[in-house]
Amino acid sequence: MKTITVSTRNSQRGFAFVWLALGMTALMGMGAVAIDISMWYARKADLQKTADNASLAGAFMLAHGGTIAQAVDKANQIASLNGYSLTMPADHSNPNATSASDIKYPVGTHNSWFSVRVQNSQIPFFARVLGHGAQHLEATATAEYQAYVDAPIPVTEAGYNGLDTNYSVFGPYAWRAYGDQYSPMYESTSTPGPKYVSGTSGPLLSNNDFTNNQKGYDFTITVPSDFSTKNPGKKLQIDIFDPDCINKGGATDASAIVKDPLTGLITGGTIDEIRNGQSGRTDDYTKTDFKVVFTPDALGSTDKVIADQVYWKDATTDLQWVTPPGFTFDPAATISQYGSGRFHVQVKSIDGSSENGFNIRSGPEVAAADLKSVTVSGQQYTLSNISETAWHNKYSGDPATASAGKNGTQVAAHGRIPLNFNANGKADILLGYVPANAAGGTITVDRFDTDIAPSGQSNIKVTYTCDTLGTGDYTGWDSGHQVSWGSFVPGVCNNTVQTDTIPLSPTYSGGNWTAHYWAGGQDSSSWTLHATVPGGSINLVGDVGQLH
Amino acid sequence: MRRFSRVILKTPPRRTRRNAGALVVEMALCLPLLIWLTFAIIEYGIVINTTMTLTQLARDTARFVAIHGGETNADAAATVNGSIRAFLKAECAGQSINYSDLTVVIGTMDAGTGVVTANAASARLQGNVQTVQISYFMGNKISVSAKLVPGLSSFTDNTKPVIKKSSVISEKAPG
């Protein structure tokens, strides 16, 4: 018994040291594992940053006319500035899996995808005592380029498509729920929209939200290189239909435009809709800024503003084609000064909460007799003095008219189409030419607030056609890429976006696309069109990192 | 511990008191080591978390610069809507880093020296490379006890901030 007691006492002395030794081993082991793994993840985050930035740089170069070699060089430059160098195999479509880091282009059938993989290894701090060598770390990022598609308008009428529809822009103090996705700062209540703060002091773009129209709706004016040959001695003239936001007679809603059957002159109708909005505005009526801008093609150049004019409650211009000051200019002079580039008209609402309906046409400058000058309250306006039919015959260049072979210019909504129905009807929205290099990719159509059904129907209807793919509704190119539209479907997109993704087959050879939209009067909607073709923006389509 | 308790119960009261005294001495000797280890693990955790957060902030800010870096108010203070610093401040709001503790430089980086020189928004031309550099003193996060932890003592030096950079292409023309 005594012996046992002594033995017990002796064994208990230093017991805490034993526990400590055991506990410390376990604790330090776990701590070491945690630190090693954390270091790997920290390094992986660095690799991911590099892969993201490099893939975006490569896609950017491809989107802006760069060759594959230039894209690879730029991706390599960005990767090395971010701390890692890429070793590229010669064949980018089939990278060598064992090389340190590589680039893959194109990715599968996606001609618009540019993928970068960055690999590295990190020797652990502690696990090396257990014989763990360098840990392999890897991050992959794929970026896609895509561009807005120009949606052309055949301007033979005051309306966008016949007389029932118009382009339209809401004021910044309107509600998005009214149907303009990009101009208003508010959703559908008097509180600022969730995407903005301090609503009355202007929109703030929050994290990654680029919804707001910073420069307004954009309309491309295509000027052919032979414009001066077709129209000797003539400048280019851009006209705006009804740039103001007021209806003669005070009507607050839109209604179908009425024309005199004999003269072809507009005698009635309304295309502006007066709406109440939020506090902070000067007035309900929307003030709209029309700007002619030239964007040179050269990378690194800045926009050149050719002319700029604001319209508000100008009753004189109601239902008139107006030539704003400076909207008649010589495009050749601009091109010789700045090089090739894109002429466009930016339309941005700067105050008010109402809907301003308008339209745009372009052509050679018209004869002095076809214009009239009106001065009201000290402000001079230059208005068209002929009917649209007469303008069409003399200046549009339409082959079926006396002006065949002239003009050559084309107006198109660049990516975003703000549309308003003045009356019940159907709009054929020309989505423009989607070239063959979108093969294997997609056309994406975002339609916002397409929700007012035509009379006699409870729902709206949208279909798509392509001139090179037959006259029937396009439903996809094989059983794995089926899409279906074509019936009057529930108006699910009140104040929301419905995205129609149109898959293109790898053998797609280019074509003109049209959306057909049936809706009712006062339906306002915004359409956004982009395709995986060079020329516009880039974004990440996926990034994957791993430890293995 | 259960086995230890049983042993105590079986031992006479005189020996229990003697053992308890020994235990206190032993614990007194061990405790500093345990406390040091605990602090070391905590400090390491803080450093690694902060490093990853800074990497993320640099990356997200660079992405914002790629798109908005050329706008007229891009370099305005964090109180100005739409500026780069307003973006970074909003990003910090959900993180464990105070925006006021960060030093930000947006500009061009010398590939050789790694030095980032600030540039004007109007100079951030489309297609050019921009670098965002974020500096942060780890001393804002870790305590003096980190000086006693191998590998962390350098982080308490308040003349040497942790620097994170992210280089991107400007995607839009200035203006």
Is A530 or A155 the better-scoring residue by pLDDT? Answer: A530
Question: To which residue do tokens 């701090």 refer?
Answer: A125
Residue-wise pLDDT for A387-440, tens only, equals 999 999 999 988 889 999 888 899 998 888 888 888 888 888 888 888 888 888
Q: Is the pLDDT confidence value at A458 over 90?
A: no
Q: How far apart are CA B74 and CA B61, in angstroms?
A: 12
Contacts of B67 in chain A (CB under 8 A): 210
Q: Please tell me which of A67-71, A343-347, A441-445 the model is most confident about, judged by mean pLDDT.
A: A343-347
Give residue A320's pLDDT band: very low, low, confident or very high (50, 70, 90).
very high
Task: Name the helix (H) or strand (E) containing A485.
Answer: none
Per-residue DSSP letter, A473: P
Q: Do the Cβ atoms of B90 and A207 come within 8 Å?
A: yes
DSSP assignment of A233-261, as one string? Answer: T--EEEEEES-S---TT---S-EEEEE-T
User: What's the CA gap between A111 and B171, in Å, rounded?
Assistant: 20
Q: Identify which has the larger pLDDT, B117 or A523.
A: B117
What are the tens digits of pLDDT across the range A10-42?
Answer: 555 667 778 778 888 888 888 888 888 888 889
Q: What are phi and psi of B7, to 5 degrees?
A: -65, -45
Q: How far apart are CA A173 and CA A183, in angstroms?
A: 9
Which class for A122: exposed (0-12), middle (13-18), buried (19 or more C-beta within 10 A)?
A: middle
In whole numbers, what is the pLDDT of chain B averaged over residues? Answer: 84
Residues across chain A: 548
Tokens 């002594």 belong to: A6
Contact B175 A303 (CB under 8 A): yes
Q: Is the pTM of this model over 0.80?
A: no
CA–CA–CA angle A502, A505, A508 (5° rounding) = 100
DSSP type of residue A393: I
Q: Which amino acid is at A153?
A: I
- Which range, of A196-205, A308-317, A453-462, A530-539, averages the lowest pLDDT? A196-205
Q: How far is B96 from chain A (nearest CA, A)?
A: 16
Question: Hey, CA dihedral for B66, B68, B74, B80, is it positive or negative?
Answer: negative
Taking residue A509's Cβ as centre, other Cβ atoms within 10 Å add up to 11
pLDDT tens column, A389-400: 999 999 998 888
Digit-coded pLDDT (tens) for A108-126: 777 788 888 888 888 888 8
Element (H, E) at A376: strand A371-376
Comparing C-alpha atoms, which of A165, A189, A22, A146 is closest to residue A523?
A165
Residues of A in contact with B62 (CB under 8 A): 53
Taking CA atoms, A374 is separated from A263, A364, A383, A385, B166, in Å, by: 21, 22, 7, 11, 57
Of A528, A534, A544, A539, the closest CA to residue A151 belongs to: A528
pLDDT at B7 over 80: no
Would you place residue A280 in the very low, low, confident or very high pLDDT band (cuts 50, 70, 90)?
low
Q: How far is CA A363 from CA A170, A231, A326, A378, in A?
A: 27, 9, 14, 28
Mutate to test the interface with B, among A30, A53, A61 (most CBs of B within 10 A): A53
As a whole number of angstroms, the distance between CA A146 and CA A112 comes to 7
Helix (H) or strand (E) holding A48: helix A15-63
Q: What's the pLDDT at A490?
A: 55
Q: What is the pLDDT of residue A227?
A: 93
Most confident of A107-111, A194-198, A380-384, A516-520: A380-384
Say if the Cβ atoms of B23 and A16 lie within 8 Å. Answer: yes
Task: Report the alpha-carbon distance of residue A222 to residue A31 in Å, rounded.
Answer: 65
Q: For Cα atoms B164, B167, B172, give the angle at the middle one, nearest 5 degrees.
A: 135
Instruction: Identify the pLDDT of residue A277.
Output: 73
**ipTM over 0.90 threshold:** no
DSSP annotation of A388 reads H
Q: How large a percentage of chain A has pLDDT more than 70?
A: 86
Nearest by CB: B111 against A17, A81, A206: A81
Segments in B2-104 forming alpha helices (H):
2-10, 13-68, 84-93
pLDDT tens digits, A536-548:
677 777 666 565 5
User: Could you tell me the pLDDT band of residue A528, with boundaries at 50, 70 and 90?
Assistant: confident
Q: Nearest CA of chain B to the CA of A316: how many Å?
A: 33
Question: A13, B131: Cβ pair inside 8 Å?
Answer: no
